[in-house]
Structure 1
Amino acid sequence: MTLPFEDTLVGYPSGETENSTTVLHCERLPDGRLAVLLERSCVHPVDAGWPDQGADRAVLRVAGAELPVLDCVVGATDGATLHLGREIPVGKGTEGWAFVVVHLLAGDAVIAEGDQAEAVVDPGHRRRISSGHTGCHLASLALNRALADRWKKDTRPDGLGHPDFDGVAIDVSLIGENGSTDTYRLGKSLRRKGFVTDGFVDGLAAVEAQVNASLAEWMATGASVRIDRDGDRLTDRRYWGLELPGHTVRIPCGGTHPSSLSELGSARVELSTADVDGTTVLTMATFVG
């Protein structure tokens, strides 16, 4: 079977949850699962470089059969070998490589190269995950705003012009249904960049209140949300856009999102800290709906 030489066409950035397509490649993996590549896919895959948003729940419909997608990940191929996730040996955009959406099916799934297939995503799960992802971005902007006066050195600004604490200090970000969990390390590296940690823990309740006040302010606008993209291929650059009154915010993002803040209903955060091997770690749990 011949592996594709072009990046997968993807429909999930525009909100697509169903699409008809052609099966380009099927390959049995060492663990027994079947890796399936489609010409076009609406199924959001897990990205190896920044796996904050998980895979969509989905099925492939082929010849009247419904085949559950057990997992969906980003892969890459040089035309000879398919590499999955963290096994990908090159960066996106490397000449001679195609980056592809890999649908992982049960080993006994009946599907073959050249078959016509329909990819179908669970719309309810997509909606809840998308809300969680927009809530995560919104909370990061609100946190940056609340911590803006804790910088004694210039640092890169976020989409609203505040010092980008989230971008500089983020350790792990996990998107869930109607929420997210982000952790930040307040260690020596961050202090060298100019962030003042003195009194941070004692003032945490005030920071949380400021973040939630910003969220309430922005949610009341019902601002529109969009995904801007340079093209329809998997590796084309994409951006989360938010139209707040007087401000347009753009954040690089490969995930899925609702079309407006009004779809979230409400948004709030809970902040907590812990000492991990002598370093203060901040956790921000975001809840929407």
Structure 2
Amino acid sequence: MTLPSTDTRVSYPDGDTVSTGTVLHVEPLADGRSAVVLDRTAFHPVDTAWPDQPADRGRMRWGAAEAQIVGGVTGGIHDGELLLGRELPVRMGTPEWTFVVGHVIEGEAPEVGAEVEVSVDEGYRHALSAGHTGCHLASLALDAALAEAWTKAVSTDALGAPGFDAAAIQTSRIEEFGSTDVYRIGKSLRKKGFDVTALDDLDAVAARANAALAAWVASGASVRIERDGDAISARRTWVCALPDQEARIPCGGTHLAGLDAVEAITVALEATDVEGGRELRMRTTISLRG
């Protein structure tokens, strides 16, 4: 069976939740499932390289048939082979690879060449978009709250503060109306010049971060996604027009259109001792107006 030679075109960066596409390939999976590859889709998959945002939920319809989309993964095609999800050994955009979205469904699958409609659960998408927007802002607020903790120059974040988030992040998980980020505070971070005593009073750190978040929310700043093209592999950037400076962060996820609909964004911090250092956990919660 011939595999696609062009990247899947995606419209979820524009906020789309419904799309129509042509089936280019159907890959059999275990347990009676299939991964359906379309030429275009509004469905947001899990990014293999940085799987922070879960896949959308939704349905696929063709003719009189329909199926629930139980998962969505990114995949790559190289030398006539399709590799999906964790099997993908390269990053998105690697030359000489074709990158696709695999819509995972159970049971009957549409045939190659069929036209299908994909519809995304709008409520779930909105909740994840809120969580992802809050996650970006929380990371910037945490960086600002810890700006004085560095004794050496380090790479800066999108607002020019020392980048604690980038230097220490271990895992990030986007959730409905929130996120959880885990940071490693160990020997390597200390070598970079981070004074770990800055985390002795976590309530004070959280208070500084929450003050910054409150000011940004009050501004009602607009949010947009800029992208080089509509291919799944195209570079995408989250842009938030904060009062003092525009923040720009590379991101392949989905987001709110602005902070005008946000009631509050708050963070809570917790540290635990682990082998070789400490682990800092930041829980971000975002609430919307109405």
Q: Smaller-chain TM-score range?
A: over 0.9
2:239 aligned with 1:256: no
Kindly indicate whether the alpha-carbon contact (under 8 Å) linking 1:135 and 1:288 is maintained by their aligned counterparts in 2. yes
The residue correspondences of 1:223-242 to structure 2 (distance < 5 A) are 223-242=221-240
Match of 2:286 in 1: 288
Per-residue CA shift, 1:132-166, capped at 9, x if unaligned?
00000000000000000000000111111100100
Kindly indicate whether the alpha-carbon contact (under 8 Å) linking 2:26 and 2:109 is maintained by their aligned counterparts in 1. no
Q: Which secondary structure does the structure 2 equivalent of 1:183 belong to?
A: strand
Match of 1:137 in 2: 136
2:6 aligned with 1:16: no
Q: 2:170 corresponds to which letter in structure 1?
A: D
Q: Return the offset for 1:104.
A: 0.6
Match of 1:38 in 2: 38
| CA distance, structure 2, for counterparts of residue 112 and residue 150 of structure 1 | 58
Q: 2:161 corresponds to which letter in structure 1?
A: H
Per-residue CA shift, 1:144-198, capped at 9, x if unaligned?
0000000000011111110010011100000000000001011000011110002
Q: 2:86 corresponds to which letter in structure 1?
A: R
| CA distance, structure 2, for counterparts of residue 130 and residue 251 of structure 1 | 15
2:218 aligned with 1:220: yes
Q: Return the offset for 1:127.
A: 0.4
Q: 1:144 corresponds to which letter in structure 2?
A: D
Match of 2:110 in 1: 111
Q: Return the offset for 1:21.
A: 1.1
Kindly indicate whether the alpha-carbon contact (under 8 Å) linking 1:48 and 1:74 is maintained by their aligned counterparts in 2. yes
Q: Return the offset for 1:65.
A: 2.3
| CA distance, structure 1, for counterparts of residue 185 and residue 30 of structure 2 | 41
Q: 1:164 corresponds to which letter in structure 2?
A: G
| CA distance, structure 2, for counterparts of residue 264 and residue 88 of structure 1 | 37
| CA distance, structure 1, for counterparts of residue 264 and residue 2 of structure 2 | 48
Kindly indicate whether the alpha-carbon contact (under 8 Å) linking 2:149 and 2:198 is maintained by their aligned counterparts in 1. no
| CA distance, structure 2, for counterparts of residue 167 and residue 231 of structure 1 | 26
Q: Return the offset for 1:262.
A: 1.9
Q: Return the offset for 1:79.
A: 5.6
TM value normalised by structure 2: 0.96
Q: 2:169 corresponds to which letter in structure 1?
A: I
Tell me: CA distance 1:39–1:210, structure 2 relative to 1, closer, same or farther (3 Å).
same
Structure 1 gaps of 5+ residues are none
Kindly indicate whether the alpha-carbon contact (under 8 Å) linking 2:75 and 2:88 is maintained by their aligned counterparts in 1. yes
Structure 2 gaps of 5+ residues are none
Q: 1:188 corresponds to which letter in structure 2?
A: K
Tell me: CA distance 1:278–1:182, structure 2 relative to 1, closer, same or farther (3 Å).
same
Q: Which secondary structure does the structure 1 equivalent of 2:263 belong to?
A: coil
Q: Return the offset for 1:91.
A: 3.1
Q: Return the offset for 1:31.
A: 3.8
Deviates further, 191-200 or 224-233: 191-200
| CA distance, structure 1, for counterparts of residue 279 and residue 95 of structure 2 | 39
Tell me: CA distance 1:64–1:58, structure 2 relative to 1, closer, same or farther (3 Å).
same
Per-residue CA shift, 1:255-274, capped at 9, x if unaligned?
00010012232110111100
| CA distance, structure 2, for counterparts of residue 186 and residue 89 of structure 1 | 29
Q: 2:102 corresponds to which letter in structure 1?
A: V
Q: Which secondary structure does the structure 2 equivalent of 1:241 belong to?
A: strand
| CA distance, structure 2, for counterparts of residue 205 and residue 193 of structure 1 | 24
Kindly indicate whether the alpha-carbon contact (under 8 Å) linking 2:34 and 2:109 is maintained by their aligned counterparts in 1. no
The residue correspondences of 1:41-80 to structure 2 (distance < 5 A) are 41-78=41-78, 80=80
**Percent of aligned positions that are identical:** 51
TM value normalised by structure 1: 0.97
